[in-house]
Amino acid sequence: MAGAIDKKLTDLGITLPTPAAPIANYVATVRSGNLITVSGQLCFGDEGKLVATGQLGGGVSLEDGQKAARACAVNLIAQLKAAVGDLDKVVRVIRLGGFINSAPGYADGPKVMNGASDLMVEVFGDKGRHARSTVGVSALPANAAVEVEGLFEVG
């Protein structure tokens, strides 16, 4: 029987992908007590293709960046579900950290990250409201436009 969060994902038309395996010497999630840290997730979408590649402000539009951030958030949720089994165990989305592949001077990174933040609130309601950092970077793995990491409290 699907839980409330799984139903919410279905209502939003979201099917969680198989979580991506780490590509270097790290693990996808670490649990310490009731906290789970999810390693940075790239903006892989359907069929394992990146939703957006390249730099924001240098060929990637704000809208495509927001879609990429949303895809990262879906991947965070997939990793979280793999770690805890039942997303109804999520007590709170504590923090998201966003890395925006940015052209020099690009200042709309926080608007890009809204793609991830908005999805967390859509899925988890008030429990999805979180603290956040957004950092513009000159490059990301696979030339992804966005990468997002997260910290979650679970019961």
CATH number at residue 138: 3.30.1330.40
State the pLDDT at residue 98.
Answer: 98
Share of the chain above pLDDT 90, in %: 94
**What does the alpha-carbon distance between residue 55 and residue 60 come to, in Å, rounded to a whole number?**
6
Mean pLDDT of the 35-55 span? 96
Contact 93/115 with Cβ under 8 angstroms?
Answer: no
The number of distinct structural domains making up the chain is: 1
pLDDT band for position 1 (cuts 50, 70, 90): low
Answer positive or negative: Cα dihedral of 22, 89, 125, 16: positive
- Which helix (H) or strand (E) covers residue 148, if one does? strand 146-154
The predicted pLDDT at position 46 comes to 83
pLDDT at 67: 98
pTM of the model: 0.96
The span from the CA of 60 to the CA of 98, in Å, is 16
Q: Judge residue 103's burial from the number of C-beta atoms within 10 Å of its C-beta, 0-12 exposed, 13-18 middle, 19 or more buried.
A: middle
The CB density around residue 115, as the number of other CB atoms within 10 Å, is 25
- In this prediction, residues 100-106 reach a mean pLDDT of 97
pLDDT at 129: 98
State yes or no: pLDDT of 121 exceeds 70: yes
Domain range for 100 is: 4-154
Range name among 19-23, 34-38, 60-64, 81-85 with the lowest pLDDT average: 19-23
Model pLDDT, residue 89: 97
Q: For 106, which DSSP code?
A: -
DSSP conformational letter for 11? H
Query: Mean of the per-residue pLDDT values for the chain?
Result: 96
Q: Are strands 35-42 and 29-32 parallel, antiparallel or unpaired?
A: antiparallel
